Amino acid sequence: MFVVGGESLIDLVPVSAAADAERMALAGGSPFNCAIALAKLGNEAGFLCPISQDDYGDLLLAPLAAAGVAVLLDERVAAPTTKAIVTFNERMQASYVFERGADRAFTREGLLAALPQQVQLYQIGGFCPILEDDASVWLDVVETALGRGATVSIDINVREKLIEDEAGYRERLDRFLDRAHLVKLSEEDHAWLAPHLTIAEYAGALLERPNCELVVVTLGESGSLAFSRAARGRADIYAPPVFGDTVGAGDSLMAGILTWLGETGALAPGRLGLLDEAALVRTLRFGAVVAGLNCAHKGCVPPSRAEVDAVLSRH
C-alpha cells in the first residue's frame, strides 16, 4: 500500500476575481490530494489523518471514498475541520491562510495502530514538521514505516504563514529529510529554504543526506527538474486544452511520479539513485500529464489513469 500521512482540510476558494467574492468549499490538503490522485492512478492508497465529525468532514470523506482511498483512521474526531482560505495571483497561482483543527487531533498510539503492516511507500505531509509536538509523533510514524520496509517520500510544501519558529521548523524539517529517499519541492520552497544556493546546488545538498536518492523540483510554468545520484532530467508542463487553476497540481504531479516509479520498479532504496536522464525525463513527463489534467478543473480534481494514458498515447 502507498500511505500518505498528514493534513486534510477545506479550501475556501473565491468564485470570482472580485476582492469580496463569495467562496466555495472544496476538499483539499496536499497529502489528501496526493492520496486521491494515487488511487485514481490505480494504486492501493491509504490516507492517515483524523477526519472531523462536522459537515466539512463529510465533504472530505466523499472524494476519498469515490477514489477508493482507505481511510486508515476510521473513528472521526470532535475537532473542527482544518480550513485554508485561498487567494490567487494574476497567474492563478494559489496562496493560503490556514485555520488548523482536526488535522492535529491525533495520538501517537492511534497513528501507529492505524499504519498498515505492509507499506510500500510512505509519504510525509508538509505540515508534519511545523510544530514540535506534532513532528515528534509523525517522526515515530516514519520510523515505523521504514522499519516495515517502506520507501519514504516527502513533499516539503513550506507554509510560511504557519511557521512561528523558523529555526525550530528548519531543524524539525531536517529530521524528516534525513529519512526520505525521495524529496519533492517547488521553486518557491527552494527560494525560502536556500536562496543562497542554486536549485542544482540545493538538490546536490539533499542528495548528500543519509537516505535521499532522488530530488524533484517543480518550476511552475517552466516545467520540472529531477536529480538522481546518477543524472538529472527536465520536462515541460502539459497544458490542458481548457485551464481551470493550479490547485493540487504539485500533489497530482507527485502522485504521477510515485506511480510511474512504482510501475517501473524504481521505487525502492538503491534503485532511485540509479535513474539515468532518460528515465528521469519519462518519470517527469508522466507526472506533468497528471498535473496538467488536474489543472483543467477548478480545485484539485486528479485524473484517472485512463485519462492520463489517452494523453500519453497522443504525444
Domains of the chain, by residue range, sit at 2-8+30-81+106-314
Mean pLDDT of 179-205: 98
**Is the pLDDT confidence value at 155 over 90?**
yes
d(CA 130, CA 139): 12
pLDDT digits (tens, 9 = 90+) for 246-271: 888 999 999 999 999 999 999 999 99
Mean pLDDT of 168-179: 98
Phi, psi of 248 (to 5 degrees): 80, 5
The pLDDT of residue 290 is 98
The pLDDT of residue 289 is 97
Which range has the worst mean pLDDT, 109-123, 220-234, 287-301? 287-301
**Is the pLDDT confidence value at 185 over 70?**
yes
d(CA 82, CA 62): 16
d(CA 279, CA 233): 8
Mean pLDDT of 126-134: 96
Regarding the domain delimited by 2-8+30-81+106-314, which CATH topology (the fold level of the hierarchy) does it fall under? UDP-N-acetylmuramoyl-L-alanine:D-glutamate ligase (3.40.1190)
pLDDT, mean over the chain: 94
The pLDDT of residue 19 is 55
The pLDDT of residue 79 is 97
Mean pLDDT of 167-189: 98
The pLDDT of residue 94 is 67
The pLDDT of residue 110 is 98
d(CA 37, CA 248): 9
**Among the listed residues 304, 185, 187, 313, the one whose alpha carbon sits nearest the alpha carbon of residue 256:** 304
pLDDT-based confidence at 18, cuts 50/70/90? low
Assess contact for 312 and 292: CB atoms under 8 A.
no
pLDDT digits (tens, 9 = 90+) for 39-89: 999 999 999 999 999 999 999 999 999 999 999 999 999 999 999 887 777
pLDDT-based confidence at 161, cuts 50/70/90? confident
pLDDT-based confidence at 209, cuts 50/70/90? very high
pLDDT-based confidence at 23, cuts 50/70/90? confident
Which range has the worst mean pLDDT, 95-109, 227-241, 283-297? 95-109
Percent of the chain predicted with pLDDT > 70:
97
Written as one letter, the residue type at 279 is A
Give the bridge partners for 153, in sequence order. Answer: 123, 182
